[in-house]
Amino acid sequence: MVKKVVIIGAGGRDFHNFNVVFRDNPEYRVVAFVATQIPGITGRRYPPSLAGKLYPDGIPIVSIDYLEELVKFYGVDEVVLSFSDLTYEDVGHIMSRVLASGASFRILGPIETMIESSKPVIAVVAVRTGAGKSSVSREVAKTITSKGLKLGIVRHPMAYGDLESMAVQKFTSYEDLDKYGVTIEEREEYEHYIKMGLTVYAGVDYGKILSIVEKENDVILWDGGNNDWPFYKPDYVITVADAMRPGQEILSFPGEVNTRIADAVIINKVDQAKKDDIEKIISNIRRVNREAKISLAESIVEVDAPEAVKGKRVVVIEDSPTVTHGGLPYAAGYVAAKKYGAKEIIDPRPYAVGIIKEMYEKYPHMGPVLPSTGYTPSQLKDLKETLEKIPADTVILGTPTDLTRLIDIDKPVVKTTFRVNIVEGPTIGELVEEFLQRAKMKIFE
């Protein structure tokens, strides 16, 4: 008997799980994708060209608000959880909704969902969004390329646009970002690699993407999204923990999975944390993974124009996922404002309009910062209008993307950068060397 399935996701893991487990599988019929976490990505269809021969009309993508109605209407047998950056409380509530509706609850594991590569794969993942994973990934990339190896960066998907046209994407320039019409969130993850002269691969169909990456590169860096585990089977895993959020290494899903599978854990932002919290994180890691190497790292935040911050009234724009579903009240931009002596950090909430106002209502933990939410032109318009209403002298961009390329900002803009500095334990160079030794047979095959 064919099982009817609903997949809950957020425009990434959900599509990958479908592609590798359910597509062209006659034992299942996926009746819908249920979307959450990312505003404005419902009301679409997973297209027939990606869905396969069993779905000539594609598959609808609807809001999680309609989960129970879908289960009842279609007689759904299983609901598959396929997104990340969750607390165990979040997982429990979703599971209870599913079970109360009468369906079974399922999570697909790494054996079912990881694709094996013929090339060496090093993965950089995190215990939670906002841990500082991107600065670690950049250092890993610099170290590998310095050895004369051609490195392909594969980013966790952020499939928020036209799914058919973005099935396989390759980014080597800013023009490629414009060509694909990527969102702010995607730019935040791609731009720093493009500045380094590296190629980023992303999209929807990670089987097809892998076949291209393997042909064009010696080594693959899987740059994870949120706190998800890799889509490709890694030869080496570096997990980034957050010294500012002790406990997330064992209390978040699937962050704890990443702690358990890590070959090395880098505890980032130790310069901003209490000694007791750092010791607690180390103890937590050792409870679930006795073999992983542990390093402590500073997150060094800098701005390109300190004089435009000191003594000024500033508004801070932060990376949206970090301060929304990532759970942090602020990030690098706020740290920079404090470090460089801003006179006042203006709270954007009284001036927020549209989607920005909705984000503050949905995520009340957010501090006096502006989330860089802009998945659609209308959301970018709301961000621009909110900025124009705020009586600030300077805008501090805590987000890695250059927003001035997307919207006109009527105030001086200061850009923030952040880099990781290992202060105790194995260096990133030593971790990369261990990876290369482990994977050398693949490199020279």
Under 8 Å CB-to-CB from 306, ≥6 apart: which residues? Answer: 340
Which tokens sit at 180? 């694909």
Tell whether 197 and 334 lie within a shared domain. no
Overall domain count for the chain = 3
CA distance 153 to 156: 10
Together in a domain, 60 and 168: no
199 lies in the same domain as 56: no
> From CA 376, how far away is CA 26, in angstroms rounded?
36
> What is the pLDDT at residue 445?
55
157 and 183 part of one domain = yes
Name the burial class of residue 158, with classes exposed (0-12), middle (13-18) and buried (19+) by CB atoms within 10 angstroms of its CB.
buried
33: β partners: 7, 61
Last residue of a domain, one of 69, 95, 112: 112
Distance CA 37, CA 29 (A): 24
pLDDT of residue 443: 67
Q: CATH number of the domain that 219 lies in? A: 3.40.50.300
178 and 267: one domain?
yes
How far is residue 265's CA from residue 350's CA, in Å, rounded to a whole number?
Answer: 40
Integer-rounded Cα Rg, in Å, for the chain is 21
Of 231, 206, 209, the residue nearest 108 (C-alpha) = 231
Classified as helix, coil or strand, 39 is coil
Extract the tokens encoding 187: 């730019």
| 250 and 159 fall within a common domain | yes
- Are residues 139 and 215 located together in one domain of the fold? yes
- Which of 72, 88, 112 marks a domain boundary? 112
And the tokens for 299?
């997150």
Looking at the structure, tell me whether residues 260 and 205 fall in a common domain.
Answer: yes
Name every residue whose Cβ is closer than 8 Å to that of residue 283 and which is 6 or more positions away in sequence. Answer: none
The predicted structure's pLDDT at residue 127: 97
CA angle 207, 224, 217 (to 5 degrees): 55
Q: Verify that 214 and 348 share a domain, yes or no.
A: no
- What gap in Å lies between CA 13 and CA 228, rounded to an integer? 8
pLDDT value at position 280?
A: 98
CB-facing half-sphere around the CA of 317: CA atoms within 13 A: 31
pLDDT along the chain (445 residues), means of 10: 95 96 97 85 89 96 95 97 96 98 98 97 96 95 97 92 91 90 84 94 97 97 95 98 96 97 97 95 98 96 91 91 84 89 94 92 92 85 91 90 84 90 98 93 63
CB atoms within 10 A of CB 91: 16
**Cβ(309)–Cβ(336) under 8 Å?**
yes
- Looking at the structure, tell me whether residues 130 and 279 fall in a common domain: yes
Confidence at residue 444, expressed as pLDDT on a 0 to 100 scale: 58
Based on the fold, state whether residues 249 and 157 are members of the same structural domain: yes
Contacts of 433 (CB under 8 A, 6+ apart): none
Identify any residues that bridge with 124 across adjacent strands, giving them in sequence order.
Answer: 223, 238
What is the domain range of residue 427? 114-299+420-443
**What is the per-residue burial (b if ≥16 Cβ within 10 Å, else e) of 171-195?**
beeeebbeebebbbbbbbbbbbbbe
Residue 174 and residue 273 in one domain: yes
CATH of the domain at 18: 3.40.50.720
